[in-house]
Amino acid sequence: MIEVSIDFEKMGGLIPAVVQDERTGEILMLAFQDRAAYEKTIETKEVHFFSRSRKKLWKKGETSGNVLHVVEILADCDDDSILIKVKHNESLKACHTGARSCFFKKVL
Amino acid sequence: MIEVSIDFEKMGGLIPAVVQDERTGEILMLAFQDRAAYEKTIETKEVHFFSRSRKKLWKKGETSGNVLHVVEILADCDDDSILIKVKHNESLKACHTGARSCFFKKVL
């Protein structure tokens, strides 16, 4: 395992975190983590973010039940973004709209 | 097709853009786009970013040859991040380190 020291300073304390279904490869969502959310995610193996609108720690699925269970976390080459692979769950709706994935608006 | 108006204002003119191999589902990289990079990507169907270090438009692969050819672009539910699916290319090295994907550092 490579020692990883995430660079939270590059973007004012936040890093983008991409969530991917580990079995299907589907991208479910992208949100931001501060150090607390990142550490809480590693500690609990449940995905946490920093809510930019509410300015606080946010456990994904806390109210909706759509908790994301971590299988693997990878950092990128310059340590300023992460990829979180989560357990496949057929009935999961990662998006607050009720969609499985947040990425459903076709641009091109 | 859903009309999409990307929200560049939420994060000082930038949005995170995730690049995924459309055939394998592999996440290749994550970088940022300003409006110019976003529009240039749609226009040329080659992925462009905004380089935060050089503070200018950056065509991915301009010097390395690892150009990313767009197959599909999806915006997320709140229009502040995008997923770019690119053409599968076995020999592609998306990372400046020479790795296929930038996400190769195991955190968990």
Complex prediction ipTM:
0.96
Q: Count Cβ atoms within 10 A of the Cβ of residue B89 and give its class: 0-12 exposed, 13-18 middle, 19 or more buried.
A: middle
Instruction: Determine contact, residues B19/B5, Cβ cutoff 8 Å.
Output: no
| CATH architecture label of A15-86 | Roll (3.10)
List the alpha helices (DSSP H) in B21-78. Answer: 35-44
Strand partners, B106: A74
Report CA-CA distances (Å) from A26 to A20, A95, B70, B87, B90.
6, 13, 17, 16, 20
**A91-101 burial, b for 16+ CB within 10 Å, e for fewer?**
ebbbbeeebbb
The verdict on pTM exceeding 0.95 is yes
Within an 8 Å CB–CB cutoff, is residue A79 touching chain B? Answer: yes
Within an 8 Å CB–CB cutoff, is residue B79 touching chain A? Answer: yes
Mutate to test the interface with A, among B46, B103, B106 (most CBs of A within 10 A): B103
Report CA-CA distances (Å) from A72 to A33, A100, B19, B61, B71.
16, 20, 19, 28, 27
What residue spans define the domains of chain A?
A: 15-86
Instruction: Determine contact, residues B4/B76, Cβ cutoff 8 Å.
Output: no
Cα–Cα distance between A13 and A10 in angstroms, integer? 7
Mean per-residue pLDDT over chain A, rounded: 96
List the alpha helices (DSSP H) in B8-73. Answer: 35-44
Does the pLDDT value for residue A34 go beyond 90?
A: yes
Confidence of residue B3 (pLDDT cuts 50, 70, 90): confident
Tokens of A12: 């004012």
Between B20, B70, B106, which is nearest A74 by CB? B106
Q: What's the average model confidence in pLDDT over B1-20? A: 90
